[in-house]
Structure 1
Amino acid sequence: MHEKGPGQQVLETPRAAGLAGVLFALLLAAVIVLVRTGLPAGADTSGPQAFTDSAQRDALRAALTLVPFAGILFLWFVGAVRAHVGAVEDKFLATVLLGSGLVFTAMLFGAAAAAGAVIAVQHPTGALPPPAAWDFGRHLAYSLMTEYAMRMAAVFASSMSVIGHRLGVLPRWLTVVGFLAALVLLFLSSNAPWAELAFPAWSLLLSLHILGVRRRDRPRPAAAV
């Protein structure tokens, strides 16, 4: 906590908020890999027979366990990003950045709920889900994740890159990577498998940059006289 003016104090952003971005990126990447492994997509997996392997069900359950923590860490990550950027005069971009982050979190939770429904409809336990329920749950989960969540992630990455470029708080290479990641998420996430990994990869780079800047700017203890 540091002084801002007479009678005013400002809470300093905790270093844990920056670390949250790193953990979020790793957890989201793990969730994507586990969902892709446990809930296959594509014409070659058009029926519930693809879900007979217990390892696939375990992978999906593990992903669903990680999703809430990934969402919470992402909110901390958004807070760290906004603290790193500071005051933004362009309220439009600031609102788009925050709004896209919140909608991404909601879509991520919705995709997890849809994937969880595929497991829940197994009656009795271990039996194949009904084909209609399988198709509906699988397509809904992938639609929410690749069609909507990742496009909101593209908006988040692009708006952050624009803000970082205008304010000079991000290096040029990171803004370029952000724009490239946004293009991949916007146009390829629903067609190219594993393209959604571009978002956790960019988030990891951004988090490491924020942590590096905070470490350099951290006040050093005064030398002993």
Structure 2
Amino acid sequence: MPPPSADALSTPRAAGLAGILFGLLLGTAIVLVRLALPAHPADAGPWLTGSSRRAAVQVALDLVPFAGIAFLWFLAAVRDRIGEREDRFFATVFIGSGLVFTAVLLCGAAAAGGMLATAGDTNRPLWGYGHSLAYALLTEYSMRMAAVFVLCTSTIGHRLRVLPRALVWLGWLVGMALIIGTGDVAWLELAFPLWSVLLGGHMLTAGPRAVR
């Protein structure tokens, strides 16, 4: 078997850096939104009149597109490392869930941006609709797609024996927790960027043999 080329050796590092960058960006955005945005539309009074809270949400929304770009890079790099050994069934769900997650995340950010643009409006029904739409997309729908991505990645890593057992079990736990508890347990969505940072760190330090 010929030794891996320099290009092949660069792939795990690229994937690891992308996973870490994505996790940090998304985690920061989630924290800013959670701290600034009220969980219920009825609690909007202080938020609508507080410019600092709206500024925090705007910073979070500015980070989301870059998080999406990093995630797509991460997705492509992980699939490249799996190569021809990938299982078609899990690979299809892996790619599909990753792309749908990215699309829903960006749509949720766009909805939140529209809500932010009308934050000073006194039309409370419009505020309530925008809040509910953005909140559902960002915390429920996107995180359940993220859960499917985590479960598929962990399963592929287990079947190909390219991930340590502890990281596989952690991925399964995170995936199931996001599917069941997202929307009901506050701050649970932070489990996804945390898992991404851990997986990225593993890929960054494991070397080519651990991912081949």
The answer to whether the superposition gives a TM-score over 0.5 is: yes
Larger Rg: 1 or 2? 1
Query: Which residue of the partner structure matches residue 198 of structure 2?
Result: 205
- Structure 1 residue ranges (4+ consecutive) displaced by more than 4 angstroms after TM superposition: none
Offset, 1:67: 0.5
After superposition, the C-alpha distances for 1:93-135 in whole angstroms (9 at most, x for unaligned) are: 001001100000001101101111112124xxxx345211211
Work out which structure has the larger RCO, using CA pairs closer than 8 Å and 6 or more positions apart in sequence: 2
Query: Which residue of the partner structure matches residue 67 of structure 1?
Result: 64
Q: What residue ranges of structure 2 are gaps of 5+ in the alignment?
A: none
Q: Which amino acid aligns with 2:69?
A: I
After superposition, the C-alpha distances for 1:17-68 in whole angstroms (9 at most, x for unaligned) are: 32111010000000101111222113xx515313221111011000111010
Contact 1:24 1:74 in 2 (8 A): yes
Higher alpha-carbon deviation: 17-26 or 192-201: 17-26
1:58 to 36, 47, 55: 55
Question: Could you tell me how far apart the structure 2 residues matched to 1:85 and 1:50 are?
Answer: 49
Contact 2:16 2:199 in 1 (8 A): no
2:84 to 74, 87, 92: 87
- Matched residue count: 206
After superposition, the C-alpha distances for 1:68-96 in whole angstroms (9 at most, x for unaligned) are: 00000000111222133332342010010
Offset, 1:183: 1.1
Matches for 1:1-225 after TM superposition, within 5 Å: 11-12=7-8, 13-14=10-11, 15-42=13-40, 45-51=41-47, 52-122=49-119, 127-214=120-207
Question: Going by fraction, where is helix more abundant, 1 or 2?
Answer: 2
Offset, 1:164: 0.6
SS at match of 1:87: helix
Offset, 1:214: 2.5
Q: What residue ranges of structure 1 are gaps of 5+ in the alignment?
A: 218-225
Aligned-residue sequence identity (percent) comes to 51
Alignment TM-score, normalising by the size of structure 1: 0.84
